Structure 1
Amino acid sequence: MAIPIAILDCDLLLHGRGSKILDRFDLDSVSDNFLLTNFGFPRDFILYLVDLLREALCRRTQRSRAISPEVQVLAALGFYTSGSFQTSMGDTIGISQASMSRCVSNVTRALVEKAPQFITFNREPSFEEFERVAGFPGVLGVLDCVQVAIKAPNSEDSTYVNKKGFHSVACQLVCDARGLLLSTETHWPGGLEDTIVLERSAVHKHLQDNKEGWLLGDGRYPLRKWLMTPYSPEKSSSILLACCVLHNISLQSGLDAWTLERTEPLEQPKILDQKPEDRDSEAEELRKQIIHKHFS
Structure 2
Amino acid sequence: MRTARSDGQSAALAVSDRHNNGSSKINIGRLASGVGTIQVVFCYIIYSNSIKKSNKTKKERAYLDGCESLYGVRHRHTWLAKGTSSTSVFMEAFGPIMLLLLKAEQEEQRKIKRPKRRKELKVVLPQKPKPKPPPAPTRKQQVLGVRRPRIFRERTGLEGMTDEEVVERYHLPKGAIMDLYELIRVDIDPLTQRSHAIPGMVKLLNCLHFFTSGSFQTKASAVGGVSQSTFSRFLVPVIQALKKHVHLFIGFPTDKSGWQSLKRGFYQIAGLPHVIGAVDCTHVALSAPHEREEIYRNKKGYHSVNVQIIADSHCKILSLFSAFPGSSNESFILRQSSVYEGFESGKIGGGWLVGGSFYTSLPWLLTPVTEPSTDADKLYNEAQSRTCSVIEKTFKLLKTRFKCLNKSGGGLQYDPTKVSDIIVACCILHNIAVQHNVPADYIVEKSRKLAKMPNTEPELSDSAQAVRSRIIKNYFSCKCQKFRSLYSLKGH
Q: Which consecutive residues of structure 1, in runs of 5 or more, have no partner in the other structure? A: 1-18, 262-279
Q: Give yes or no for contact 1:119–1:245 (8 Å, CA) kept in 2.
A: yes
Residue 111, structure 1, aligned to residue 242, structure 2: yes
Distance 1:207 1:20 in 2: 57
Matched with 2:329 is 193
How far apart are residue 281 of structure 1 and its match?
8.0
- Partner AA of 2:467 in structure 1: L
- Partner AA of 1:184 in structure 2: L
Q: Which consecutive residues of structure 2, in runs of 5 or more, have no partner in the other structure? A: 1-149, 371-380, 393-419, 444-460, 478-492
Residue 228, structure 1, aligned to residue 366, structure 2: yes
Residue 102, structure 1, aligned to residue 228, structure 2: no
Q: 3-state SS of the aligned residue for 1:27?
A: coil
Residue 288, structure 1, aligned to residue 469, structure 2: yes
- Partner AA of 2:435 in structure 1: Q
Change (3 A) 1:62 1:295: farther
Distance 2:151 2:301 in 1: 37
Change (3 A) 1:156 1:186: closer
How far apart are residue 197 of structure 1 and its match?
0.7
Matched with 1:205 is 341
Out of 416, 431, 441, the position equivalent to 1:259 is 441
TM-score computed with the length of structure 1 as normaliser: 0.78
Q: Percent sequence identity over matched residues?
A: 33
Q: Give yes or no for contact 1:185–1:201 (8 Å, CA) kept in 2.
A: yes
- Partner AA of 2:369 in structure 1: Y
Distance 2:288 2:193 in 1: 34
Cα deviation digits, residues 248-278 of structure 1 (max 9, x gap): 222223334x3369xxxxxxxxxxxxxxxxx
- Partner AA of 1:133 in structure 2: I
Q: Give yes or no for contact 2:217–2:231 (8 Å, CA) kept in 1.
A: no
Out of 278, 286, 304, the position equivalent to 1:150 is 286
Out of 347, 352, 358, the position equivalent to 1:214 is 352
Question: After the TM superposition, which residues 238-249 of structure 1 pair with which residues of structure 2 at under 5 Å, given as runs?
Answer: 238-249=421-432
Change (3 A) 1:131 1:43: same
Q: 3-state SS of the aligned residue for 2:299?
A: coil
Coordinate RMSD, CA, aligned: 2.5
TM-score computed with the length of structure 2 as normaliser: 0.49
Q: 3-state SS of the aligned residue for 2:307?
A: strand
Q: 3-state SS of the aligned residue for 1:254?
A: coil
How far apart are residue 98 of structure 1 and its match?
1.4
Cα deviation digits, residues 122-141 of structure 1 (max 9, x gap): 43322222112321111111
Matched with 1:87 is 218
How far apart are residue 68 of structure 1 and its match?
1.4
Higher helix share: 2
- Partner AA of 1:203 in structure 2: V
Q: 3-state SS of the aligned residue for 1:29?
A: coil
Distance 1:295 1:288 in 2: 10
- Partner AA of 2:352 in structure 1: W
How far apart are residue 61 of structure 1 and its match?
5.4
Q: 3-state SS of the aligned residue for 1:28?
A: coil
Out of 56, 67, 82, the position equivalent to 2:198 is 67
Change (3 A) 1:260 1:91: farther
Change (3 A) 1:215 1:48: same
Higher strand share: 1
Q: 3-state SS of the aligned residue for 1:208?
A: helix
Matched with 1:36 is 167
Aligned residue pairs total 258
Out of 178, 181, 188, the position equivalent to 1:57 is 188
Q: Give yes or no for contact 1:61–1:67 (8 Å, CA) kept in 2.
A: no
Change (3 A) 1:82 1:187: farther
Out of 179, 182, 188, the position equivalent to 2:318 is 182
Distance 1:206 1:99 in 2: 42
Matched with 1:6 is none
Q: Give yes or no for contact 1:181–1:244 (8 Å, CA) kept in 2.
A: yes
Cα deviation digits, residues 60-92 of structure 1 (max 9, x gap): 655633211221111111111133424333222
Q: Which protein, 1 or 2, shows the higher relative CO under an 8 Å CA cutoff with sep ≥ 6?
A: 1
Out of 269, 276, 289, the position equivalent to 1:140 is 276
Q: Give yes or no for contact 2:171–2:438 (8 Å, CA) kept in 1.
A: no
Q: Give yes or no for contact 1:20–1:96 (8 Å, CA) kept in 2.
A: no
